Amino acid sequence: MDIEAWPEGDGRAVAVEWTVLESAIGPLLLAATERGLVRVEFHAEAARRDRMLDRLAAQLGAEPVERASGLLAGAVRRLDRYFAGAPGDVDLPLDWSLTGGFNRQVLRELASSVPYGTVVGYGDLAGRVGRPGAAQAVGAAMGSNPLPVVVPCHRVVESDGGLGGFGGGLETKRQLLALEGVLPTTLF
């Protein structure tokens, strides 16, 4: 489900709840507003988590409150199912307020048109948003994705079959693609 950002310039602070979800790829910081999931952060050990919470407070104008119920209950349940191997996209209400412009356009296209168990090339995704020569810009949009896993930037790969980059690290990208059946699981 897509939810737009708050109207530009309304100056209102946004209540934010957060929790850390232990997952098959390590701890994930999840943050949500009343509009939907607003942030997913990989490798959410204490120092990184604290930096992200400070950044969220500055971006959204309110101190995030630790809570695993209310705004985050659905996200925690759905991501638990995803990491347990339940096929399907992680379809949740999303708050897009931490991205905008071209990046938001690309991320929304990715979320709506690249289903579980499939991949798309950077150039192909650029073409889908009407910018066929913008593969590098699509890569930058993937790198700025505030909602990885849920907005599945791990499904974007190089046209020659390479994995490309990934903010959570290439091993994490491999694990997510293996979970979805795109790559074989390792023998070791």
Residues marked as catalytic: 153
Secondary structure of 30-69 as H, E, C letters: EEEECCEEEEEECCCCHHHHHHHHHHHHHHHCCCCEECCC
CB 35 within 8 A of CB 92: no
Q: How far apart are CA 139 and CA 126, in angstroms?
A: 9
**28 touches 20 (CB < 8 A):** yes
Identify the bridge partners of residue 36 per DSSP, sorted by sequence position.
33
Pair of tokens at residue 6? 């708050």
Distances, alpha carbon 126 to alpha carbons 48, 136, 147, in Å: 31, 9, 19
